[in-house]
Amino acid sequence: MTNQSAALSNDLNTLPKLPGWVTCKRAETFESVAFRSGAALTVLDQLVSDPSQGVPLKLLANKLALQAATVTSKLEGRLAREADIRDAYHLAPAGEARGPDGDLLAFWRAGVALRLTGQDLQIGLKNLVGSNFEGDIAGWMAAGVARAKSHGPLAGCVAVMRAVLEVDDRAERIACMPSDIVLARALNWTSVLPVTAQYLTKAMLRDLVSNGQGADLKVQARLLTSIEDTIRLAQDLASRATLLRAAAPKLRAKGSEAAVDLFLSEDAIGPSMMLSPTIQGTTIPMTDRAARRLCDRLVDLGVARELTGRPTFRLYGIVR
């Protein structure tokens, strides 16, 4: 075992874990899902609420946003691949149209960036959901939060999904976004994690609206699966982030610390757009050549990888 893989193994061993009885397969009932989801959400809450766990929250949220965009593209009948959605968003020049795939990811990333308090939430959410829903969304959210308090967070998520879809059964992304907000508010998180869309299907949502037999339970069970996967992703990213930070002193480029911070917040980095001529979010200059060399150096160190397989218009991200 290499030093790097040994360090990764040690980090994984110190992070909160799901008990085996949570992930074992069994016949689902509302009681079993509620019980298991309580345990799973406790572990996830530890990972995302305790900074000492080392989970890069912005990176986790943006990776989940990309996954949610891919799922909702399928729900909406477009079937765009994750790579196409990622490229449409990250490679669009500033100020130019991203197209429907890039706009879908922009929707989810805007949801991730919402502030979950007072007027900020109301204004931000209304901007996302549009005029067809802005008059009702606050009431649906309040009902979802109340349902979460009385029947558990997953029941609150499903309640707000159903309310949106009863008005428009093609509004899948808008149904899932407030569902994620209900989950975040139920757990007193300060930001949204796009968890609830990950394993939904069009048939499930159709049954949910028509009150099909067992529809509510099926959706809750899928939400539990998504929570379990999010825990594993958070654990993995925490360990990968540790390795990336450990490699940072080996980088000699000016601004390398800021570049590493960017890798710990973005799911994909375009060297010529996000590191050059200045590192995104800073005033630190970096030449195009230095940006490419820094990314290649991170790949050589085994802490980043090139995502596209192309010789040009490349994107880089943290190793997974």
pLDDT digits (tens, 9 = 90+) for 117-141: 877 888 888 888 888 888 899 899 9
* Sequence spans of domains, the chain: 28-239, 251-318
Stretch 174-191: mean pLDDT, rounded?
A: 94
pTM for the full model?
0.91
Q: What pLDDT, on the 0 to 100 scale, is given for residue 1?
A: 44
User: Helices 118-129 and 137-151 meet at what angle, rounded to 10?
Assistant: 120
Among the residues of 130-197, which ranges form H helices? 137-151, 153-167, 172-186
Residue 122 CA, chain-centre distance (Å), reads 21
pLDDT at 2: 56
Residue 175: is it exposed, middle or buried by C-beta count within 10 angstroms (0-12/13-18/19+)? buried
So what's the pLDDT on residue 161? Answer: 96
For range 280-296, the mean pLDDT: 94
Question: Predicted confidence band at 185 (pLDDT cuts at 50, 70, 90)?
Answer: very high
Residue 20: is its pLDDT beyond 80? no
- Please provide the CATH number assigned to the domain covering 251-318: 1.10.10
Cβ atoms < 10 Å from Cβ of 61: 22
Distances (CA, A) of 113 to 82, 130, 211, 295, 310: 20, 17, 33, 26, 30
Q: Mean pLDDT for the chain?
A: 90
Tell me which of 15-24, 121-130, 255-264, 271-280 is least confident. Answer: 15-24
pLDDT at res. 25:
63
**Lowest-confidence region among 83-97, 115-129, 131-145, 234-248:** 115-129
304 DSSP assignment: E
Q: What average pLDDT score do residues 86-105 get?
A: 93
Which whole number is the average pLDDT over 274-285?
95
Taking the CB of residue 313, how many other CB atoms lie within 10 A of it?
A: 12
Measured CA to CA, the distance from residue 181 to residue 192 in angstroms comes to 6
Q: Looking at residue 194, what is its pLDDT?
A: 97
Q: Are 168 and 132 in contact (CB under 8 A)?
A: yes
Residue 212: count other Cβ atoms within 10 Å of its Cβ.
Answer: 13
| CATH fold of the domain at 28-239 | Fic-like fold (1.10.3290)
Q: Which three-class secondary structure state does DSSP give residue 19?
A: coil
Please tell me which residue, 316 or 17, carries the higher pLDDT value. Answer: 316
